[in-house]
Amino acid sequence: MKGTLSLGVDIGGTGVKMALVDRRGRIHQLQKFASPTKASPAVFLGTINRWMRGFVGRDQFRTLRGIGVGVAGDVDQAHGRVRLSPNLQWHNVPLKALLRKHLPPIPLVVDNDANAAAWAAYWVETHRRAKNLVCLTLGTGVGGGLILNGALYRGATGSAGEIGHMTIDPTGPACPCGNHGCLERYIGARALVERACQAVQEGEQSVIIELVGGNLQAVTPLVLQQAAQRGDRLARRIWQEAGERLGVALASLVNIFNPDRIVVAGGVARAGRLILAPAQRVMRRRAFPVPGHAVHLSLSHLDQDLGVVGAALLVP
C-alpha cells in the first residue's frame, strides 16, 4: 500500500535534516544530524542510509510514499547525480545510485536544495496558487529556485535558478564562482560578516564587539541582527545596504519573470524587515510599474525547514 508520508532529506554543508512530511507539507517528525567530516561521498551516504533507517524505522520503510533528497550543489536530476557541490566537496557523485542499493523499491528523487525550497514555498506557502514564484534562500550562499507556470523550472541541464550569481555590479568583488559582483557577494552571510569585521577593525564604533565578547570570529548574521535591533549604526547600515542590493536584483527579476510571488528564506532572511523593507522599497522604485505592483514579496514561514519539506513534496 502506498503511504501518505514521504521522507525528505536535506543534505547541506554542515548538517543533514530529515523529516516525515504529508501531502499538505506538514511535518510529522523531524531530526537533524551533524555531517560526518572528511567522509568520502560513499561513506557519507552509507551513514545517511543508517540514519534514515533509524529515523523512519526499519519496518516502516515500505509504507513510505517515497524519498526526496535535496542537496546543495549542481544536480543532474534525471540521473540523480551531483555534478558539483563546493559545500560538500563532492564532484560527480552518483547519489541516487549509491542510496538506491540499500533501499526498497520506492520512488526516490534527487534535486538541488534551492529547487526543493522553491517547491515547498509554492506548495505550502501559496497553496499552489502563485503559478510563477521566485524563491531565494539567503544563507552562507544565496540560492534560488523558480516555479514557472506551476512547475519547477530546471533549464537545459538542470542548473537553472542560480540567482545568487546574477551580476549586481560588473566591477564588484570577485566571487568564488569565477564571476565578479555576484549578488551573493553582497547579501550572503559571509559577505555581511566580512563587512562588519572590516569596519570594526578599521576602528568603527559598534556594539557588535561587545556582543561577541571581542571575538570577531563569532560574528554571525544573528549577531548583526541583534546589534541592529539595539540601534547600532554600523549594523543598521549593513542591513540597509544589503537590502538595497537585494532590491536591485529583485527589480531585475520582476522585469524578467513578472512573478506572482517572491519568497525569501534562510538564515540571513531572519533579519526580517531589516533587510526586506529596503529591498521592497528599491524593488518597487526600480521595477516596471505593472509587474512591480503585481508581485508579492514575503518571508518564508517555513524558513529553515523549507528545503526538507520541499524535498519530501518533490516525490510524485
Closest distance to its own copies from the beta carbon of 166 (Å): 4
H helix or E strand, kind and range, residue 101: none
CB of 123 to its own copies, least distance (A): 18
User: From the CB of 151, what's the least distance to its own copies, in Å?
Assistant: 7
The region of 86-94, 141-149, 222-230, 234-242 touching its own copies under the rule CB under 8 A is 141-149
* Binder among 151, 205, 218, 233 for its own copies (CB under 8 A): 151
What are the CA-CA distances from residue 278 to residues 27, 123, 146, 245, 297 (Å)? Answer: 33, 27, 23, 9, 12
The reply on whether position 255 binds its own copies by CB under 8 A is yes
Cell numbers standing for residue 165: 550569481
**Distance from C-alpha of 170 to C-alpha of 275, rounded to nearest angstrom:** 23
The H-or-E segment that residue 249 falls in is helix 233-257
Site membership for its own copies, residue 167 (CB under 8 A): yes
Binding-residue pattern over the window 10 to 39 for its own copies, x denoting contact by CB under 8 A: ------------------------------
274's grid cell: 531589516
Where does this chain touch its own copies (CB under 8 A) — which range of 45-53, 85-93, 167-175, 197-205? Answer: 167-175
How many separate helices (H) and strands (E) can be counted in the chain?
11, 13
**Smallest gap, in angstroms, from Cβ of residue 39 to its own copies?**
25
Exposed, middle or buried: residue 289 (CB in 10 Å: 0-12, 13-18, 19+)? Answer: exposed
User: Can you tell me which of 34, 37, 38, 178 binds its own copies, judged by CB under 8 A?
Assistant: 178
Distance CA 136, CA 102 (A): 33
| Min CB(87)–its own copies separation in Å | 15
Distance between CA atoms of residues 145 and 218, nearest Å: 30
CB 266 within 8 Å of CB 139: yes
- Strands across the sheet with 90-93, in order? 74-76, 81-85, 90-93
Of 144 and 310, which CB lies nearer to its own copies in the complex structure? 144
Q: Does 190 bind its own copies (CB under 8 A)?
A: no
Give yes or no for a contact between 164 and 188, defined as CB atoms under 8 angstroms apart.
yes
Q: Sheet of 108-112: strands edge to edge?
A: 27-34, 15-21, 6-11, 66-71, 108-112
Q: Spell out, one character per residue from 88 to 127, where the chain touches its own copies: x when CB under 8 A holds, - when not.
A: ----------------------------------------
Q: Work out the number of other CB atoms within 10 angstroms of the CB of residue 69.
A: 31
Query: Which of 70, 145, 161, 278 lies at the binding interface for its own copies (CB under 8 A)?
Result: 161
Q: How far is the CB of 159 from its own copies (least distance, A)?
A: 4
Should residue 298 be labelled a site residue for its own copies when binding is judged by CB under 8 A?
A: no
- Closest separation in Å from C-beta 301 to its own copies: 21
Q: Work out whether 166 is an interface residue with its own copies (CB under 8 A).
A: yes
Number of residues that bind its own copies (CB under 8 A): 51
Residues that bind its own copies (CB under 8 A): 74, 83-84, 131-132, 144, 146, 148-149, 151, 153-163, 165-170, 177-180, 245, 248-249, 251-252, 255-260, 285-291, 294-295
